[in-house]
Structure 1
Amino acid sequence: MVRNYKRRTNQQSWSKDSMACAIRDVRNGTLKLKAASLKYQIPATTLYRRVKSGKNVTEASNKSLGRFKSTFTYDQEKELAEFILEMESRLFGLSFKELRSLAYQYAIKNKIPNSFNHNTKLAGRDWVYKFLERQKNISLRLPEKTSAARASAFNPTNVGNFFNLLGSLFDTFHFPASRIFNCDETGISSVPNKPTKIFSLKGKKQVGCLSSAERGSLVSVEVCFSPAGTSIVDISPGKA
């Protein structure tokens, strides 16, 4: 498949948003078909065919040129996207290859006609790229390794207790800006183990995945800053 195809005709030059508005106006009775065709600059025969298709507005307004058709419907791809985000939220995000395998299994289980590779039992790489174009809230990210103990400890009860204790300390001691520090640390391992990129919600600040206990030695770097501009930097060797 050509990934960067350049149009050579002006067919379906209308936008999906215009088509969706036109279909919605005709079905609701807001506009007659001819008036909607003129208003949104869409051929009347094309608009008539899509209004009478019986599909929902999203599916009816999709563009379809050539012999290559989308394997899954809008609702099916939405279900896949929700599953991807659900797995990532549970720290079991899908890798690029795992998504290809999932798409193939989904198509086979639901008896959906497809052109996927039946030898490797994987969806094509081009399908993944187009899927990401349609699902704007999903991107391929590099996760941070997160232990099961740390993941289970991060819950509303523990977080609420922490902030309640913090609030009571501030109310009691009234710490000045020079005594408040924001601290963060990182470890540089002597045996790095880079995880595979996974699909996650676009814009999410931190993406994690479960991992086994760390092994080997590392150098810990800890940096603290206060609102008054005071800084503390500590570098020390340790064991993972």
Structure 2
Amino acid sequence: MLNMRNRKRTTERGKTPAHIMLRAAREVKLNNKSIRGAGTDYDIPERTLRRFLQKVTDEELYGTNELPTTAVGYIKNRQVFSDDQEKQLEEYILKAADVYFGLSPKQIRTFAYEWAVSLKIKFPDSWNTNKCAGQDWFTYFIKRHAGLSIRTPEATSLARASGFNKHSET
């Protein structure tokens, strides 16, 4: 079994909703309130509000729109493939299983590495060293795609495989 890491969130930092961040930013810019004071009023860390003020555009700040397009909080910085690419990888694994070519976890990790290299995506250095994706990547990939059930495939006998073939119905 893989060594799984389960991180428990200990604070709610980085979870401030975008509309509250915008309201606090407007207090600072329009009402000349201090960043520290607005952060205290809206329960936002000072550094977070300062960083948001550097990113937010004037149209967002002075417009009537309630939701800014500026990203707030933490981003997924450790995911190697985009959501679309992971969906394609999931479809490939399912298609391989449908044609009786089940992939083992090690084969999936090796394929993920080779695919990342061909797409010229940035990935951890350990992938280059091992020539395959890491166990942690695989664990979280399986968690994100619960429809996959990956285990070491068993060989399908030739008689059973040919029984599914349309030409053998004679």
TM-score (normalizing by structure 2): 0.59
Distance 2:154 2:122 in 1: 37
Unaligned ranges ≥5, structure 2: 18-63
Q: What displacement does 1:77 show? A: 0.4
Who is 1:6 aligned against?
8
How far did 1:156 drift? 5.5
Instruction: Answer yes or no: is 1:64 the counterpart of 2:67.
Output: no
Deviations 1:192-213 (A, max 9, x none): xxxxxxxxxxxxxxxxxxxxxx
More helix by share: 2
Question: What is the CA-CA distance between 1:49 and the residue it aligns to?
Answer: 1.8
Matched letter for residue 118 of structure 1: N
Q: Deviations for 1:109-139, whole angstroms, at most 9, x for unmatched residues?
A: 1100000421220101000011011112102
Pairwise CA distance, 1:9: 2.6
- Structure 1 gap segments, 5+ residues each: 16-31, 35-43, 51-62, 162-240
The residue identity in structure 1 corresponding to 2:162 is S
Q: Cα RMSD between the aligned structures?
A: 3.2
Q: 130, 140, 145: which is aligned to 1:135?
A: 145
Matched, 1:105 2:114: yes
Give the Cα–Cα distance (whole angstroms) in 1 for the partners of residues 16 and 149 of structure 2. 28
Query: What's the CA shift for 1:149?
Result: 3.1
Equivalent position of 1:75 in the other structure:
84
Percent identity for Structure 1 against Structure 2:
37
For the residue of structure 2 that corresponds to 1:138, the secondary structure is: coil
Determine which structure has more spread, i.e. the larger CA radius of gyration: 1
Structure 1 residue ranges (4+ consecutive) displaced by more than 4 angstroms after TM superposition: 156-159
Q: SS of the counterpart of 1:146?
A: coil
Report the more deviating stretch, 145-154 or 68-77: 145-154
Q: Partner residue of 1:26? A: none
Q: Which one-letter code corresponds to 1:9 in the other structure?
A: T
State the Cα distance separating 1:8 from its structure 2 match: 2.9
TM-score of the aligned structures, taking structure 1 as reference length: 0.43
1:83–1:14 distance in 2 versus 1, CA, 3 Å: farther
**Aligned residue pairs, count:** 120
